[in-house]
Amino acid sequence: MTKVFNLYEAKNQLSSLVDRAAAGEEIVIAKHGQPMAKLVPARDKSTKEPRKQRKLLHLTYMADDFDAPLSPELLKLFGYDP
């Protein structure tokens, strides 16, 4: 359940509100009755799932000359005239 605190209360109880948020409680901070901010538990970086490696275009190898300069004939096909 979300608990709402006005800004003055939140300022005076910030340490305990942070502890409560870290324990899983959502704390809303309001100013003049309007919700302005929410304290929620920070995500633990150690529990983050590792990214899956993707094989783009299903390539399983790359030629040794992949980044070699293009031949003049190919460059002309791309509109580049050396």
Q: Where are the domains of the chain?
A: 3-39
Q: Tell me what pLDDT residue 12 has.
A: 95
Note whether 22 and 40 are within 8 A (CB): no
Percentage of the chain exceeding pLDDT 70:
79
Strand partners, 15: none
pTM above 0.85, yes or no: no
Note whether 4 and 35 are within 8 A (CB): yes
The residue whose two tokens read 């942070």 is: 18
Domain 3-39 sits in CATH 3.40.1620.10:
yes
pLDDT in tens, 13-47: 999 999 999 998 999 999 999 999 999 888 766 65
